[in-house]
Amino acid sequence: MTHDEIRAHCLRKPGAYLDHPFGPASDIIKVKAPSQQRGRIFAQLFFLRGQAVATLNCGRMEGELWRGLYPGAVARGWHCPPVQQPYFNTIALDGTVPDDELLLMIDHAYDVVAHKLPKAAQRELIPAPAGRK
């Protein structure tokens, strides 16, 4: 997947928007409900030593799983403080990780962050199942 395809997939998520708090070289994708002031980062797209990479939020166990499945292509969040590194994966966008797996990682990142939002914000973003309010 290309940088543009990944960004487009991320931005299709409810409440997702593009931000550039670290400058124009990094695409930061955040999620927030309409009632919120600020969003939370779930994906970061940038170049690291000339290589396109994505840093995605993840659960600790899922992060370890993906790092084990794709050694060398998926690493702990390289720019994150050590205490946060297990909860972020930096993925080389060189084709090593199959597109369907990369989409799964992005969807997981969004879900992890969206479910950390206040309950009221979650209800704005995630529709209730049919028959429930």
* Domain residue ranges of the chain, discontinuous segments joined by +: 3-125
Distance of alpha carbon 118 from alpha carbon 61, whole angstroms: 23
- 46 to 4, 64, 123: CA distances (angstroms): 11, 22, 31
| pLDDT tens sequence across 32-45 | 988 888 899 999 99
Q: pTM for the complete prediction?
A: 0.89
Predicted confidence band of residue 131 (pLDDT cuts 50, 70, 90): low
Confirm or reject CATH 3.90.1150.30 for domain 3-125, answering yes or no: yes
> End-to-end alpha-carbon separation of the chain, Å?
37
| pLDDT tens sequence across 96-120 | 999 999 999 999 999 999 999 888 8
Predicted confidence band of residue 128 (pLDDT cuts 50, 70, 90): low
**Is 80 exposed, middle or buried, given 0-12, 13-18 or 19+ CB atoms closer than 10 A?**
middle
Distance of alpha carbon 73 from alpha carbon 112, whole angstroms: 21
Residue 121 has pLDDT above 90, yes or no: no
Q: Which of 4, 95, 98, 88 is nearest to 45 (CA)?
A: 4
Residue 82 has pLDDT above 70, yes or no: no
pLDDT at 133: 53
Percent above pLDDT 70 for the chain: 90
